[in-house]
Amino acid sequence: MTGTILTPGSRIGAETMEKAARGRSLWDDARRRLLRNKAAVGGMIVLGLLVLAAIIGPYFTPYDYDQINKDHVWAPPLTNGHLLGADSLGRDLLARLLTGLRVSLAIGLVATTVSLIIGVAWGAIAGYLGGRIDEVMMRVVDVLYSLPFIFFVILLMVTFGSNIILIFVAIGAVEWLTMSRIVRGQTLSLKHKEFVEAARAAGLGDAGIIAKHIIPNLLGPVVVYVTLTIPAVILAESFLSFLGLGVQPPMASLGTLIANGAQDMELAWWLLVFPSVTMVVTLMSFNFIGDGLRDAIDPKDR
């Protein structure tokens, strides 16, 4: 800008003016800060690779995840075409690991989406309507908060048998509580902003204001919380699987693989080590991304 003389009608002037007028949006700033954060970028790259491996990997392994090979029982890594070894039934660990990763990531994604929908709707409605309704809705959240939830999930699994859809729903239904609190808090501060009043003055109804103005503006904190919820969900599923209540064999998830690996660790260390490392790397990349996003979107702490 320095030294450029803005004469009316000149093209350089028009472009510069347009750029200045558009300015840098909050999201541009956030993206720039995020991309400067090495840990977050590393997390995104690693996570991208893991997701890719989970989606296409199972098609490229020499064995299927449930294929039993009597001759390959306890095959160590790098023997008989088992890159990561084989388990007590001679099943290929690499194939099982990729399938397990796929299942765990899918559970993380679906259950988080469930919690996202319930939590955002609940929090936004409570915060926006306020008064009695808010009080009642938030008291419900308080009560649910003080329940020993892992017990209820276990009871649910025992009651209805462990099928994978139920795991999605059960974990999602547990995780929405914090989301609804965050969303409510944000909504409370948003609803007195000028643009909401303007929308109301223009004749938009409550539902329209919540959908068009409140929810889009909640995006920042919600995105951050989502990236931190996915690993929490993956962990919760693994806990259940570890207790024998999650994904049922021959299907695999990271949790079941680690549980089986722990049983056989004296005989076959690879069954414990590779799934554990995958789990830790997955959780870490989510956490790095989540922390990076928080710093980027909400730079108060810098």
Q: Which residues bind other proteins (CB under 8 A)?
A: 143, 146-152, 154-156, 158-160, 231, 235, 238-239, 242-245, 255, 258-259, 261-262, 265-266, 269, 272, 276, 279-280, 283-284, 287-288, 301
Rounded to a whole number of angstroms, the minimum distance from the CB of residue 269 to other proteins is: 7
Q: 68: Cβ–Cβ under 8 A, 6 or more apart, which residues?
A: 89, 90, 91
Nearer to other proteins, 125 or 170 (CB): 170
- Would you give the distance in Å from CA 195 to the centre of its chain? 31
Rounded to a whole number of angstroms, the minimum distance from the CB of residue 63 to other proteins is: 25
Are 154 and 243 contacting, i.e. CB atoms less than 8 angstroms apart? yes
Rounded to a whole number of angstroms, the minimum distance from the CB of residue 261 to other proteins is: 7
CA separation for the pair 243, 100 (Å, rounded): 16
CA separation for the pair 65, 207 (Å, rounded): 48
Rounded to a whole number of angstroms, the minimum distance from the CB of residue 122 to other proteins is: 17
Rounded to a whole number of angstroms, the minimum distance from the CB of residue 21 to other proteins is: 36
Residue located via tokens 């990561």: 84
Nearer to other proteins, 190 or 252 (CB): 252
Rounded to a whole number of angstroms, the minimum distance from the CB of residue 71 to other proteins is: 27
Nearer to other proteins, 198 or 243 (CB): 243
Are 124 and 184 contacting, i.e. CB atoms less than 8 angstroms apart? yes
Rounded to a whole number of angstroms, the minimum distance from the CB of residue 221 to other proteins is: 16
Instruction: Report residue 241 as tokens.
Output: 């699987």
Nearer to other proteins, 211 or 280 (CB): 280
Instruction: Report residue 278 as tokens.
Output: 């995958």
Tell me how crowded residue 60 is: count the other CB atoms within 10 A of its CB: 10
Pure H helices in the chain: 11-22, 26-36, 38-56, 93-129, 131-145, 149-160, 164-190, 194-201, 206-209, 215-242, 254-263, 269-297
Nearer to other proteins, 153 or 196 (CB): 153
Sequence length of the chain is 302
What string of DSSP letters covers 164-221?
HHHHHHHHHHHHHHHHHHHHHHHHHHHTTSHHHHHHHHTT--HHHHIIIIIHHHHHHH
Nearer to other proteins, 124 or 234 (CB): 234
Nearer to other proteins, 167 or 210 (CB): 167
Distances (CA, A) of 162 to 105, 170, 251, 268, 293: 18, 11, 12, 28, 34
Rounded to a whole number of angstroms, the minimum distance from the CB of residue 17 to other proteins is: 40
Nearer to other proteins, 68 or 154 (CB): 154
